[in-house]
Chain A
Amino acid sequence: MTTTLTINGEAKSFDAPADMPLLWVLRDVLGMTGTQFGCGIAQCGACTVHIDGKPVRSCMLPVGAVRDRAVTTIEGVGASPVGAKVQKAWLDLEVIQCGYCQSGQIMSAAALLAATPNPDDSDIDAAMAGNICRCGTYVRIRAAIKQAASQRQS
């Protein structure tokens, strides 16, 4: 079945069964490997993308359910000012270790800041608790979100 999705502002057409999670469409059909597989059961957040700006775990989102909503992945998040600020804060504070979880962390953080420009610690906890980092970069993730938030206003 041919499906067309708008991913990072570009129309992409491909063949995939409607029940196939968006994660595998991105990775295995479209070759967009920035979005990562960590658990497959919406427990780790490694696969987080934006659907119309909202963070969604793509490992459990059937591609048939996306329809005409806009998909943004880690490859495209830097095109928005908030995404670029998150990426910059991540590098400025050297958040990243192995990096495998960080596509998902950045997507969750960018969605948080888009919705809540000045998050407090409990906002950060609520938005980021679905993203596991096995390397344990949580202290810096929290600091980087705050830094990105402060730079948004300047």
Chain B
Amino acid sequence: MAVAEKIFDGLSRRAVLTGGLAGGILLSFHLPVRAFGVNEPVQPPDDTAGKFAPNAFIRIDAGGTTTLVMPQVEMGQGVYTSISMILAEELDADFSRLALEHAPPSDKLYGNPMFGIQATGNSNSIRAWWPHLRAAGASARAMLVQAAAQQWQVDPASCTTANSEVMHKDSGRKLSYGELALAASSEVPPKDVPLKDPKDFVLIGKPLKRLDTPDKVNGKAVYGIDAILPNMKFATLKACPVFGGKVAKVDDSAAKKIPGVQKIVVLDDLVAVVGDHMWAAKKGLDALVIDWDEGPNAHISSTDIWRDLRAASEKDGAVAKSAGDIVKGLATGDRLDAAYELPFLAHATMEPINATVHVTPDLCEVWTGTQVMTRVQSEAAKAAGLPVEKVIVNNHLLGGGFGRKLEPDMVVAAVRIAKQVDGPVKVVWTREEDIQHDVYRPVYRDNIAATLSDGKIVGWKYRVSGSAIMARWFPAGFQNGVDIDGVDSGIDMPYDIPNFHVEFVRAEPPAVPTGFWRGVGPNNNVFAIESFMDELAKKAGKDPVDFRRGMLGKNPRLLAALNLAAEKSGWGQPSPDRVGRGVSVQPSFASFIATVVEAEIDESGEVKLRRVTCAVDTGIAVNPDTVVAQLEGGLIFGLTAALYGEVTIDKGRVQQSNFNDYRMLRIDQAPKIEVHVIESGEAPGGIGETGVTAGPPALRNAIYAATGVALRRLPIDRAMIAAGKKS
């Protein structure tokens, strides 16, 4: 049986109708708060008949096919393979004969144990599911063993398993999992099944081939945008370019004459053209004459947003963490103050946002690729005016997520359009609409003050100012004025500092919607902290690596990563003129990473990335090749933002529109990247976000080393580098 074939058949799956948000409460971003009942015998009823289905993740049919249901979504991070490795490891399943399925919406069955809802993000898929999926696999294995032992009338302890077979060594008998599927179904799941000793792992820790990639080299992979339904129409849309604006008047006389245009859908805030194909829809849209009522936000500009944020950041914030005596600490030794600023960013997933929807009087069916299945289901229900159990959501592979698909807005808009259309309609955003109507990485300002004594930091006061994304997206994560994501790596400081104080100022930009972006809170925190560390090192007259080493005594994993990255990067060895090396370290997402960027800066301030060296201790690396790939890709993602990324606002609208003015790093600018994975027996950490947070401060510090120019904003300011203003 072809590996993973089912995940590409996005249309065959009928999602199970279950309730909406189960209301899991999140108390901390870091802590699993909900014991997860992986052995609950609650099953989607449509596909378990005649199968051994011991829990929500595993189905084994009499033919021996093991189907694994994926609670987290695949957006490139390799999680379908890693999850399968964990389940198959404890199940002792034949890894070459697996079929995978996207999970249907169900917080009860597939809610992420760290969030309490079915969401993929914050680099926590493996961290959150690790114990639960191991238990699910081990429990299913034990039931298969019990069934075999009973048939043979032997002690279950005398049986072994491998490659989807139970064996009884003494008698030489064996039965395949397929042969045992029926009998195992009536076994009772055992309590407290032992898990494997990591030294006995046969899959985990091996660089196994990904299960999703073979169909990605031949055009067979099915993303949300590839959904095809009988009699489907195609639509594209234009929302008011000014945030919050409305449609005033539409002249569609020219659009209606375009061959293939079927219908113009005018909603209060957007206009969509429905046609026989995307080309008709797009030509129709271009032919519309739309008058907008731009509303109250038409005057907003980046200049005002920055002025307001800077003012807000000067006030005291809500205290996120405090240790020692910060007043005393800041009064001791040499003091340095700095403020760092990060811009709005669009996600620009390679697959533009889209959703295909079919609304009938009593059913709404959605085909899309989302990071939040149940939220899409409940929001689609509201938009369709139907109960949640009348909404079917079919998930797909995602052509990039990066946090954009943690929002359901594209599905809501598509449902509103589909309500006006007979039959299914695929709604695809143009790249211009995708960039101009994103949910943006917020602008942030980070004010840091620190004091130095004997080459060490004695006082550290860090204030983060910006959006509280959690307050909107997950209210339990915003408490007492602190957004736990906004301060995440700010409170999780790796350095040994006696007097330490972190604050959060909630400062929402007017009108511009903000949300999670790959690297989430830490991409701001780590940039500010690690940039400032280099400025402090200079003030202390120390080498940046030595300066950090001196304060990492209580963080041996990060210290080891720093030492390895320094050694492998040739840190301290002479470099050519105008070439600098910059370092950054981070304990973020429970992975300990040190990064050295080597860059060459020319007289005009242009930056050439030469080489990136990264050392990572992510605990047990479930699939080490995926860890390397995620760091390579994350570094490029972060360095892209550092070099080019900025969304600006003028007259209430986004000024960038496509890859011509929202630039991406390309292969001819990509550095060599070396990733060194450190062996570890600790529980797995997160990895998808980590490269994104690692790259920008290391690049900024490389520029600092090469030129002496202390950049305090991103993207890097080439004019400032060229002017050579030293700190």
Binding site for B on A (CB under 8 A): 16-17, 20-21, 24, 27-29, 31-41, 43-44, 46, 73-75, 78, 87, 90-91, 94, 96-103, 106, 124-126, 128-142
Contact = CB atoms under 8 A, between A and B. Distances in A.
Q: How large is the interface on B (under 10, 10 to 19, 20 to 34, 35 or more residues)?
A: 35 or more
16 contacts: A28-B276, A33-B226, A36-B223, A39-B658, A87-B218, A94-B629, A97-B76, A98-B75, A98-B350, A98-B351, A100-B350, A106-B217, A134-B350, A134-B400, A138-B667, A139-B673
Per DSSP, chain B at the interface is loop
Contact of B400 (A35, A37, A100, A124): A100
Contacts of A37: 225, 278, 352, 428
Contacts of B636: 133, 135-136, 138
B667 A78 contact: no
A141 B278 CA distance: 30
B640 to A, nearest CB: 8
B659 interface: yes
A100 B209 contact: no
B214 interface: yes
Nearest to A31: B228
Contacts of B212: 99
A94 B658 contact: no
A75 B279 contact: no
B672 interface: yes
Nearest to A73: B219
B350 A132 contact: yes
A96 B668 contact: no
Contacts of B658: 39-41, 43
Contacts of B228: 31, 33
A130 B210 CA distance: 26
Interface in B230-287: 234, 259-260, 276-279, 282
Contacts of B635: 136
A21 B280 CA distance: 11
Given A91-B214, A129-B667, A134-B400, A97 B629 contact: yes
Given A96-B210, A132-B659, A39 B632 contact: no
Contacts of A33: 219, 222, 225-226, 228
B696 to A, nearest CB: 14
A140 B666 contact: no
A130 B276 CA distance: 30
Interface string B662-682: 001111101011000000000
B219 A96 contact: no
Interface string B286-308: 00000000000000000000000
B660 interface: yes
Contact of B217 (A32, A44, A90, A137): A90
A21 to B, nearest CB: 6
B420 interface: no
B351 A36 contact: yes
Contacts of A31: 228
A142 B629 CA distance: 14
Given A20-B279, A43-B660, A97-B633, A134 B222 contact: no
B416 to A, nearest CB: 22
Contacts of A100: 223, 349-351, 399-400
Per DSSP, chain A at the interface is loop
B664 A139 contact: no
Contact of A125 (B259, B397, B668): B668
Interface in B184-218: 209-210, 212-214, 216-218
Contacts of B363: none
A98 B399 contact: yes
B659 A17 contact: no
A24 to B, nearest CB: 4
Given A78-B218, A97-B76, A129-B668, A136 B213 contact: no
B332 interface: no
Given A100-B223, A124-B667, A136 B348 contact: no
Interface string B72-102: 0001111000000000000000000000000
A38 B431 contact: yes
A91 B633 contact: no
A7 to B, nearest CB: 12
B726 interface: no
B398 interface: yes
A72 to B, nearest CB: 11
Contacts of A129: 666-668
A135 B218 CA distance: 19
A33 B234 CA distance: 14
A94 B77 CA distance: 12
Contacts of B637: 134-136
Contact of A28 (B214, B279, B402, B691): B279
B667 A142 contact: yes
Given A74-B218, A124-B667, A94 B397 contact: no
A99 B397 contact: yes
Given A75-B218, A135-B350, A28 B234 contact: yes
B163 interface: no
B221 interface: yes
A98 B217 contact: no
Contacts of A135: 76, 350, 400, 633, 636-637
Given A40-B658, A75-B218, A97-B76, 11 more contacts: A28-B234, A39-B658, A44-B350, A44-B659, A94-B213, A100-B400, A126-B668, A134-B637, A135-B350, A135-B637, A138-B670
Given A33-B228, A41-B660, A96 B632 contact: no
Contacts of B276: 28
Nearest to A74: B219
B670 A139 contact: yes
Contacts of B213: 90-91, 94, 96, 99
Contacts of B402: 134
Residue in B77, B220, B276, B400 with the greatest tally of chain A CB atoms within 10 Å? B400
A127 to B, nearest CB: 9
Nearest to A130: B666
A140 B398 CA distance: 20
B399 A24 contact: no
B555 interface: no
B634 interface: yes
A134 B348 contact: yes
Contacts of B634: 136
A81 B344 CA distance: 45
Nearest to A39: B431
A27 B428 CA distance: 12
A69 B76 CA distance: 35
B9 interface: no
Contacts of A131: 666-667
Contacts of A136: 632-637, 640, 665, 670, 691
Contacts of A98: 75-76, 349-351, 397-401
A75 B417 CA distance: 32
3 closest A-B pairs by CB:
A34-B219, A136-B636, A100-B399
Given A87-B217, A134-B349, A141 B667 contact: yes
B221 A99 contact: yes
B365 to A, nearest CB: 19
A13 B157 CA distance: 65
Contacts of A16: 277, 279
Contact of B259 (A17, A39, A94, A132): A17
A27 B400 contact: no
